[in-house]
Amino acid sequence: MDWKVNYEEVSSDFKTGDVVLMHGDFPMSKMIQFLEGSKWTHSGMLVLAKDIGKEGVWPDVLFWESNSLTNLPCLITGKPKTGPMLVPFKERLQTNMNNYYDSIFAVRSNTTPIDQEALKKLVDFMPTVMDATFPTDLKMWYENIEGRKEGKFSGQAQIFCSELLTMTFQTMGIMSKNWVPNAARPKDYSNEGSIPFLKRGFLEPEMYLNIPKTTK
């Protein structure tokens, strides 16, 4: 069975750089599952508010993701948008569960050392991709294939989830730039994947989160 822990039991252990995986129930999510051979269809990164100078201003645990959903406003822009966004992590989990956008959630703790220089690079990077949107399903898949097979970078006009995650790690200096960001898939960040980090870093095994559906 997939052993699940309650959010409140582990949230104090979360670190900036931890990877989040989600299993989606959209029609395209099911297609991604089939093509990748993996249940994971969405990925993103945890960011602690205290690490980016927003302690006491924003919720303690934030989620840096690229998404097609617009039901939560981006904390950086103050407005709903597709593409790269920074949102409260617990709120993203709960709204996704309540609406069944995603129904399985896991966190992989990142052991890679992240120093102040890397955090500054993260803070400086986030605003630079705020104009990017989320690609269509077909374009996302095409750009991913181009990245994996041909090493062709798709640019920053449209960015999908695992592309943003990879781009962020590369910008922070904790992942090699030997591959283009759009080559990565959520599966690459799962237990089944093997995407490497620098500084002898690695991802701990998946820890499943118990997020009960709530009623209004």
| String of DSSP letters for the chain | ---EEEHHHHGGG--TT-EEEEEE-SHHHHHHHHHHTSS--EEEEEEEGGGGT-BTTB-SEEEEEEES--SS--TTTSS--SEEEEEEHHHHHHHHHHHTSEEEEEEE-B-S---HHHHHHHHHHGGGGTT-BPPPHHHHHHHHHHHHHH-----SSB--HHHHHHHHHHHHTSS-SSS-GGG--GGGGSTT-----STT--BPPPEEEE------
Lowest-confidence pick of 44-53, 67-76, 94-103: 94-103
Q: Domains along the chain? A: 11-210 (3.90.1720.10)
Give yes or no for residue 150 having a pLDDT over 80: yes
Predicted pLDDT at 100: 76
Instruction: Report residue 37's pLDDT band, with 50, 70 and 90 as the boundaries.
Output: confident
Predicted pLDDT at 35: 65
Lowest-confidence pick of 27-31, 124-128, 155-159: 27-31
Give yes or no for residue 2 having a pLDDT over 90: no
Give yes or no for residue 62 having a pLDDT over 80: yes
Predicted pLDDT at 73: 98
Q: What percent of the chain has pLDDT over 90?
A: 88
What is the average pLDDT across 76-92? 98
Q: What is the pLDDT of residues 154-202, one digit of tens each?
A: 999 999 999 999 999 999 999 999 999 999 999 999 999 999 999 999 9
Q: What percent of the chain has pLDDT over 70?
A: 94
Predicted pLDDT at 4: 96
- Mean pLDDT, the chain, integer: 94
Q: What is the pLDDT of residues 9-23, one digit of tens each?
A: 999 999 999 999 999
Predicted pLDDT at 32: 66
What is the average pLDDT across 79-88? 98
